[in-house]
Amino acid sequence: MAKRNRRVGYGLPVVLAIAVHVVALLMTMLRLPDSEPTPSSSSVVQATLVSDVTATDQAQYAKEARARAAQRQAEEAAQQAAEQQAQEAAQQAAEQQAQEQAQQQEAARQAAAEQAEAASERRQQAAEQAAAERAEAEKQQQAAEAKRQAEAEKQANAKAEAEKKRQAEAAAKAEAEKQQKAEDEKKRQAEAAAKAKAEKEKAEKEKAAEAAKAEAEKKRQAEAEKKKAAEAEKKRQAEAAEKKRQAEAAEKKKAAEAAAKKAAADALSDSIANEQERIANAQQSDQASNSFINLVKRAVEDRWHLPANADNALVAQVRVRLGPSGELLAASITRSSGNPSFDRSATQAVEAAAPFRELQQLDAGLQRRFRDFNLKFTPGDVQ
């Protein structure tokens, strides 16, 4: 035994044994960094819409979308008219907008009509479209009437303002005349006083001729000076009146320019508002679709029983086709995970979660979109 131990030492075996344990430990440790970077998304089931609708369907969707957009525009026009009544907005801008909208709607209608011809759709759809167009036309007429009313009121407002201005000008003129008259009277009184003085002085002159002549000359000079001063004042007043008139004209011009600018700004802001409303509508439809997707996801997640041997890396895709009222028509595996029990669990989860009655609450277009969608199953964070 002692000989054997000397021959086959324990150094190498000890090193090897420790190496074995270190490797075993590393294998348990190394699985951690592998599993950690996997996406830790809270959603276990990921849904994606299937975009394999046929070309004719797409054309129908496009038409419907256009019809909806036209309806939205008509609604926006009505809202704008209401807003304009309250505001002191420019009439021309509104008319231009109305014209533009009308043109847009007409263009949309023409496009829709062309598309209808091209697609050679069913008569029912055509009838529906015609009905939609009639509704649009009615809405447009309503909008136009509202605009006309708005214009009439605006005109009335403008006239009232013009009258007020005229009255204000007249008052200003009257005041100016009064002032002039008052000044004239003062002058006359002053002259009369001067004349009286002169007569008295003449009487005195008779008494004292030499002094009187000198005084008369002085008086004449004074009168001449006074007359000159009065003339200068008159000139000044006339100049002031002209200046006032010029200033008023400039103010009027400025007011007109400001009004034009305001009208342009209103037109711009209105177009921006239209755009924003369109975006908001798009977001709303997106939100509706997202909420439906989330609903489906949650329902499927709740009923999903993960098989015990499922690996976190497994991914299965299930194509779900729904009936018009949300009932399940078919749930088929489009991309297998390679684990049959995992695939089965995914389809069973969809079958258990069906029917999705919430589909009925969506718009017709969205409904058609969600009649066919994909669900991606990843175990993720399921414990």
- Give the separation between CA 378 and CA 351, rounded to whole angstroms: 17
* Binding region for another protein (CB under 8 A) out of 27-35, 82-90, 113-121, 301-309: 27-35
Question: Phi and psi of 375, rounded to 5°?
Answer: -120, 130
Identity of the residue, 7 or 207, whose beta carbon is nearer to another protein in the bound complex: 7
* Binding region for another protein (CB under 8 A) out of 9-17, 163-171, 186-194, 361-369: 9-17
Q: How many residues does the chain have?
A: 383
Identity of the residue, 15 or 211, whose beta carbon is nearer to another protein in the bound complex: 15
- Give the separation between CA 111 and CA 66, rounded to whole angstroms: 9
Contacts of 261 (CB under 8 A, 6+ apart): none
Total residues binding another protein (CB under 8 A): 25
Q: Are 347 and 319 in contact (CB under 8 A)?
A: no
Identity of the residue, 10 or 55, whose beta carbon is nearer to another protein in the bound complex: 10
* Binding region for another protein (CB under 8 A) out of 11-19, 46-54, 178-186, 275-283: 11-19
Under the criterion CB under 8 A, does residue 36 sit at the interface with another protein? yes
Identity of the residue, 14 or 131, whose beta carbon is nearer to another protein in the bound complex: 14
Under the criterion CB under 8 A, does residue 28 sit at the interface with another protein? yes
Of 95, 102, 93, whose CA–CA distance to 73 is shortest? 102
To another protein, the closest distance from the beta carbon of 333 in angstroms equals: 28
To another protein, the closest distance from the beta carbon of 353 in angstroms equals: 23
* Residue 358 DSSP class: G
Under the criterion CB under 8 A, does residue 118 sit at the interface with another protein? no
- Give the separation between CA 194 and CA 32, rounded to whole angstroms: 119
- Give the separation between CA 112 and CA 108, rounded to whole angstroms: 6
Under the criterion CB under 8 A, does residue 21 sit at the interface with another protein? yes
Question: Phi and psi of 45, rounded to 5°?
Answer: -105, 125
Using DSSP, state whether 105 is helix, strand or coil: helix
Q: Are 375 and 305 in contact (CB under 8 A)?
A: no
Q: Are 233 and 183 in contact (CB under 8 A)?
A: yes
Identity of the residue, 7 or 123, whose beta carbon is nearer to another protein in the bound complex: 7
From residue 47, how far is each of 44, 74, 328, 381 by CA, in Å? 10, 35, 16, 17
Indicate which single residue of 169, 177, 242, 381 sits in contact with another protein (rule: CB under 8 A): 381
Identity of the residue, 13 or 340, whose beta carbon is nearer to another protein in the bound complex: 13
Strand pairing partners for 332?
319
Under the criterion CB under 8 A, does residue 14 sit at the interface with another protein? yes
Under the criterion CB under 8 A, does residue 313 sit at the interface with another protein? no
To another protein, the closest distance from the beta carbon of 304 in angstroms equals: 17
Indicate which single residue of 42, 120, 309, 383 sits in contact with another protein (rule: CB under 8 A): 383
- Which residues are at the interface with another protein (CB under 8 A)? 1, 3-8, 10, 12-14, 16-18, 20-21, 24-25, 28-29, 32, 35-36, 381, 383
